Chain A
Amino acid sequence: GIQVEQSPPDLILQEGANSTLRCNFSDSVNNLQWFHQNPWGQLINLFYIPSGTKQNGRLSATTVATERYSLLYISSSQTTDSGVYFCAVHSWGKLQFGAGTQVVVTP
């Protein structure tokens, strides 16, 4: 099946800093999503982005489908950005998730 790799596994940021999270996948995909899992365990949809670039407030994402990667940018990070960020691609009837990037934003 398709492999999804995320980097870095952990990230510690000071409030106000910018960061980039990466997601590599092993095969072509029609569907890629980014999620934020908050400290209460809820999965929040951030982006549905099989290709191109999207922005939502301080967050933006870019997927280069031909090169099989996606990037999530967090700008001017806030403590509420803490949590785990997952990318997931659709393959054979399910979303295949990466292992996630644990982000901690300190005041």
Chain B
Amino acid sequence: EAQVTQNPRYLITVTGKKLTVTCSQNMNHEYMSWYRQDPGLGLRQIYYSMNVEVTDKGDVPEGYKVSRKEKRNFPLILESPSPNQTSLYFCASSSRTGDYNEQFFGPGTRLTVL
């Protein structure tokens, strides 16, 4: 089944403890992206990647890192999480740049930073 998977789905952690949220897609998509969703602020893009080894900042990249070493994986790294990073996170992918193609979203990761 074609899908985008994220792990973990739920995570409660403490301030400053490094964590990684994994994202993987099995559709051979070039484009992958991370979004966060917050009440009243909607969905905002954190980082995106046009292809392997090509990443760029979205609207809210502060406090996050990403890497794209393989086409299928696009992990989101929080080196020193803070409570303002408590949010619902989504990974998405599409073929090519995404301009002319449908984007598919993972199931979401609900992160709480205490």
Contact = CB atoms under 8 A, between A and B. Distances in A.
Given A41-B108, A41-B110, A48-B102, A93 B97 contact: yes
Interface of B is mostly: strand
Size class of the contact patch on chain A: 20 to 34
B1 interface: no
Interface stretch (A12-20, A68-76, A95-103): A95-103
B42 A45 contact: no
Interface of B: 33, 35, 42-43, 45, 48, 50, 56, 58-59, 88, 90, 92, 97-105, 107-108, 110
A94 B48 contact: yes
10 contacts: A30-B100, A31-B101, A94-B59, A94-B98, A95-B33, A95-B43, A95-B98, A97-B42, A97-B43, A100-B42
Specify which of B97, B100, B102, B104 lies most central, judged by the most chain A CB atoms within 10 Å of its CB: B102
B92 A95 contact: yes
A99 B48 contact: no
Interface of A is mostly: strand
A95 B56 contact: no
A59 to B, nearest CB: 16
Given A31-B101, A93-B97, A94-B45, A42 B107 contact: yes
Contacts of A41: 88, 108, 110
A42 B108 contact: yes
B59 to A, nearest CB: 7
A94 B33 contact: yes
A94 B56 CA distance: 11
B98 A93 contact: yes
A49 to B, nearest CB: 10
B99 A90 contact: yes
A46 to B, nearest CB: 11
B99 A33 contact: no
A43 interface: yes
Contacts of A95: 33, 35, 43, 45, 92, 98, 103
Contact of A43 (B50, B90, B99, B102): B90
